[in-house]
Amino acid sequence: MSAIVAIVGRPNVGKSTFFNRLIQRREAIVDAVSGVTRDRHYGKSDWNGKEFSIIDTGGYVVGSDDVFEKEIDKQVELAIAEADAIIFMVDVETGVTGMDEDVAKLLRKVKKPVFLAINKVDNAKRAEDAVEFYSLGLGEYYTLSSINGGGTGDLLDALVKELPDVVEEKSELPRFAVVGRPNAGKSSFINALIGEERYIVTDIAGTTRDSIDTKYNRFGFEFNLVDTAGIRRKSKVKEDLEFYSVMRSVRAIEHCDVCILLLDATRGFDGQVENIFWLAQRNHKGIVILVNKWDLVEDKETNTIKHYTQKIKKAIEPFTDVPILFISVLTKQRIFKAIETAVEVYNNRNKKIITRKFNETMLPIIENYPPPAYKGKFVKIKFCTQLPTPYPQFAFFCNLPQYVREPYKRYLENKIREEYDFSGVPITVFMRKK
């Protein structure tokens, strides 16, 4: 779990450029998986060894100018509520605008660290012009240029000093977060499990206000169920709703062990569901996909489930070892099976393999199919072990780790999955110098 940083500010000040610069520093190294940076608004970054999640509030606001101001205020309020630190971005070219003053007014009341970042400062003249932003009453500021990266280091140095040290919380009880698009049936799913109308369920998207934990104890399973929340529909602007659901899903996912990703069968595995999936995968959480409202899908031929499953697996490649269940919350069809599966995934995520046995299994496999030679050099893997982390990570020790390419690491991951059940759990494979 990592701290959350939100970038706020009016449109066109360069928030997304800055955001992209931050996530590339990490994504390019860690996620050599194609299609992982699908969600432009959410990413992982790190600086000076401190990892944090970053949310770009840009790109959510759609509509005319009068809608803009209300929407920006809402996003800033939500960012203030959810984030651990806030970067408020302004633009030296335009100078202080009325909208900047409104945002500053909201931020002056905040008890969290706020960093005023003045963008597009790429020469001495502009650095002098930046002085006028003192009038926003937010104290010190940082000048930078998102396009060429100048000045971002100073801002990030100051930022990470203020971020809380977040450790993976090990609560006594496993936490299962029920996530998904608004109106997919998340609250109904929890009601059906608990057998009481604990949540108000209506057909209006996003009536859940807060993230509520419910202790669940049945059939010998005991855990906390977390309903993703705050997907309140405050206006007609569709993007606004997406923003709320992404922001709250981030929080719920960061704090859970297993994500139960619920989707509406009639809408399919669309872009936002996919974003939530990658969000869970990048946070190394267990994942179970539930296709709800299966009873409403018309024209079910014998192989519809098979086709639907293949479509989802295509979208989540290469991490396809994920349980997919077809359920109906309304008729309670397979909802307890869903919980059993989530418990299995939780156990898989906590699985520890004895080093001696792991070597006995993996070394003959590697000998049979060693890493391909690179630039005429041969890689010899001598030893492997599972790392003592809260989720499955494996280190393979060899003479030339830099020559082991991504496809071979994926081959090792697939072999680990064949030998040991890690269904629903992301695995990381590292090559280390012996």
Q: Residue-wise over 117-134: b if at least 16 C-beta within 10 A, else e?
A: bbbbbbeeebeebbeebe
Domain boundaries, the chain: 3-162, 175-343, 355-433
Domain 3-162 and domain 355-433, same fold? Reply is no
Total residue length of the chain: 434
CATH of 3-162, one of 3.40.50.300, 1.10.1200.10, 3.40.50.80, 3.40.30.10: 3.40.50.300
Q: Which residues are annotated as a binding site?
A: 9-16, 56-60, 119-122, 180-187, 227-231, 292-295
pLDDT of residue 252: 79
Q: Which residues are annotated as a binding site for GTP?
A: 9-16, 56-60, 119-122, 180-187, 227-231, 292-295
- State whether residue 343 is helix, strand or coil: helix
Backbone angles phi, psi at 236, to 5 degrees: -80, -10
Q: What's the CA gap between 187 and 173, in Å, rounded?
A: 21
Strands (E), 266-330: 286-292, 324-326
Q: Which amino acid is residue 389, in one-letter code?
A: T
Q: What is the pLDDT along the chain (434 residues), one digit of tens a residue?
A: 578 888 888 777 888 788 878 876 433 223 323 333 334 466 778 788 788 888 777 544 444 455 556 666 666 777 777 788 999 999 888 888 888 888 888 888 888 899 999 888 888 888 787 888 888 888 888 888 888 878 888 889 999 888 877 655 555 788 888 888 777 778 788 778 776 554 444 444 444 444 556 777 766 778 887 776 433 333 433 444 556 556 667 777 877 899 999 998 888 888 778 878 888 888 899 999 999 988 777 766 655 888 888 888 998 888 889 999 998 888 888 888 998 899 999 999 999 999 999 999 999 999 999 888 888 888 898 899 999 988 999 999 999 888 888 889 999 999 999 999 999 999 989 988 87
| Alpha-carbon dihedral 6, 9, 11, 12, rounded to 10 degrees | -90
Superfamily of domain 175-343: P-loop containing nucleotide triphosphate hydrolases (3.40.50.300)
CATH architecture of the domain formed by 355-433:
2-Layer Sandwich (3.30)
The model's pLDDT over 56-95, given as tens digits with 9 standing for 90+, comes to: 775 444 444 555 566 666 667 777 777 889 999 998 888 8
Cβ–Cβ < 8 Å for 55, 4: yes
Whether a cis peptide bond, with omega within 30° of 0, leads into 318 is yes
pTM of the model: 0.65
CA distances from 232 to 60, 196, 237 (A): 15, 23, 12
